Amino acid sequence: MDYSFTKFLNLISAVFLIFSLAACGNGQNGNVTDDPRSTHSVDGKKTYKDLVVGYSQIGAESEWRTGNTASIKEAAEKLGVELIFDDAQQKQENQIKAIRSFIAQQVDVIGVSPLTESGWDSVFQEAKDAGIPIILVDRRAAVPEDLYTSYLGSDFYEEGRRAARVMVDLLDGKGNIVELVGTVGSAPAIDRYAGFREVIKDYPDMKIIASATGDFTRAKGKEVMEAFLQLHGDEIDALYAHNDDMAIGAIKAIEEYGLRPGVDIKIVSIDAIRDAFQAMIDGKLNATVECNPLLGPQFLELALKVVNGEGAPKWIPSEEHIYFPENAREILPTRKY
Ligand code: GZL
């Protein structure tokens, strides 16, 4: 074969080799979307790496909230979602400011856990006018259904009913109950209050002799329980707390008063945080109704679906259980929040 033709063939194969290596360098089979750094959509649809999410979180008032925040941030990190996260320190005006900032930044989707049910219509309308979908996470807002795309969260009313059914068993249908209510005006407080009463209304010998808000915090829960004990003392047979943090604060107050929490005063609360399992192991709490905060992965999966115009149910309820002292020691190591 003529030398110059051989040289020509070598040149062609070298050029071909360089191009094919360059194509593979972009990912397994040269397809840009396999490249982990890819920011391109696949067939017109956004991927997690294209997603920019604004999230307005209520604050850090409880272990439940801390677990909820961790779940959202970890899921965003793992999926490569750009998360703009705001902690409102339990102030609605801070949440409204954050949502307006997300609109100005033209995020793809806004997630919000509304502190209270009311006060959202105008800022949600602004998001709608800007074409940015709103997903409610954890708590509901009392707004027309066209102002949000979907609600991902618990059935608080059922949580209240579950707590009441456990209380009926603990008190054998009779006794005086004091109640620590969650944040006034919040969906969980409203529904846990009503769900509990729906069940105990059928037990005339079970009476709620005092009810006040502990704002879902340990400090306030202890303070209000001290006041209940000053007012009613040994008359109190049981405590219903809308979350474990308030129950744990109340447990301290009951011990300082000289009574035995979980024995002299039965206690049922909601959330199922790790410290509640420890309190059950210590014999100071009689049951905790789970309210699942680990909503991060579900929220971002829903956000991507919504941004890609795929249908989403108006409400996606969380899966939840009730936990008792009998198996608290065995379950505690498995708990993630
Ligand atoms: C319930 C959540 C409540 C928790 C509290 O979904 O909004 O707020 O029960 C938390 O612990 O502070």
What digits encode the pLDDT tens for the residues 144-156? 999 999 999 999 9
Residue nearest to atom 3 of ligand 1 (CA): 188
Question: Per the domain annotation, does 29 fall within a domain?
Answer: no
Q: Based on the domain organization, do 93 and 138 belong to the same domain?
A: yes
State the pLDDT confidence band at 32, using cuts at 50, 70 and 90: very low
Same domain, 276 and 255: yes
Q: Whose CA is nearest to atom 9 of ligand 1?
A: 243
The pTM assigned to this predicted structure is 0.86
The mean per-residue pLDDT over the stretch 79-97 comes to: 98
Protein residue with least CA distance to atom 6, ligand 1: 138
What per-residue confidence (pLDDT) applies to 318?
80
Pick the atom of ligand 1 nearest to 244's CA.
Answer: 11
Per-residue DSSP letter, 128: H
5 CA → ligand 1 middle, Å = 78
Q: What does the pLDDT look like over 202-242, one tens digit per residue? A: 999 999 999 999 999 999 999 999 999 999 999 999 999 99
From 14-28, 224-238, 283-297, the region with the lowest mean pLDDT = 14-28
State the DSSP string of 238-263. EEEESSHHHHHHHHHHHHHHT--BTT
Mutation test of ligand 1: which of 56, 58, 62, 87 has the most ligand atoms closer than 8 Å to its C-beta? 62
Say yes or no: CB of residue 62 within 6 Å of ligand 1: yes
Same domain, 129 and 182: no
Alpha carbons 289 and 271: distance in angstroms, whole number: 6
pLDDT at 20 exceeding the cut of 80: no
- Residue 171 sits in a domain whose CATH number is 3.40.50.2300
For the chain, the domain total comes to 2
Ligand 1 in reach of 139 Cβ (< 6 A): yes
What is the pLDDT, as a whole number, of residue 311? 81
The proportion of the chain whose per-residue pLDDT surpasses 90, expressed as a percent, equals 85
Specify whether 165 is located in the same domain as 258. Answer: yes
Of 317 and 126, the structure prediction assigns the larger pLDDT to 126
* Cα gap 132→52, rounded to integer Å: 11
Domain-embedded: residue 239: yes
Residue 38 pLDDT = 42
159 lines ligand 1 (CB under 6 A): no
Test site for ligand 1: of 151, 291, 299, 320, most ligand atoms within 8 A of the Cβ = 291
What pLDDT is attached to residue 33? 39
State which of 89, 90, 138 you would mutate to test the pocket of ligand 1, scoring each by most atoms of that ligand within 8 A of its C-beta: 138
What was the pLDDT predicted at 4?
55
First-to-last CA distance in the chain?
A: 75
Looking at the fold, whether 241 and 147 belong to one and the same domain comes out as: no
The minimum-distance atom of ligand 1 relative to the CA of 153 is 6
Tell whether 82 and 203 lie within a shared domain.
Answer: no
Let me know whether 245 and 269 are in one domain: yes
Whether residue 284 has its Cβ less than 6 Å from ligand 1: no
The pLDDT of residue 319 is: 72
Q: Which of 113, 72, 97 lies closest to 216 in space, CA to CA? A: 113
Do 161 and 287 share a domain, yes or no? yes
The residue written with tokens 């793992």 in the block is 78
Confidence of residue 67 (pLDDT cuts 50, 70, 90): very high
Q: Is the CB of 188 under 6 A from ligand 1?
A: yes
- Asked whether residue 207 is assigned to any structural domain, the reply reads yes
Reported confidence tier of residue 190, pLDDT bands at 50, 70, 90: very high
To the nearest whole number, what is the mean pLDDT of the chain?
90
Residue 44 resides in a domain: no
Please give the average per-residue pLDDT across 132-161, as a whole number. Answer: 97
Better-scored residue on pLDDT, 33 or 147: 147
299 and 150 in one domain?
yes
pLDDT of residue 19: 45
Ligand 1 centre distance from Cα of residue 188 (Å): 7
In tens, the pLDDT along 307-319 reads 999 989 999 988 7
Mean pLDDT over 154-180 rounds to: 98
Residue 46 lies in a domain: no
pLDDT value for 43: 81
Per the CB < 8 A criterion, the answer to whether 127 and 98 are in contact is no
pLDDT for residue 320 is more than 70:
yes
Distance, in Å, from the CA atom of 170 to the CA atom of 296, rounded to the nearest integer, reads 35
Residue 94, domain extent: 52-154+293-317
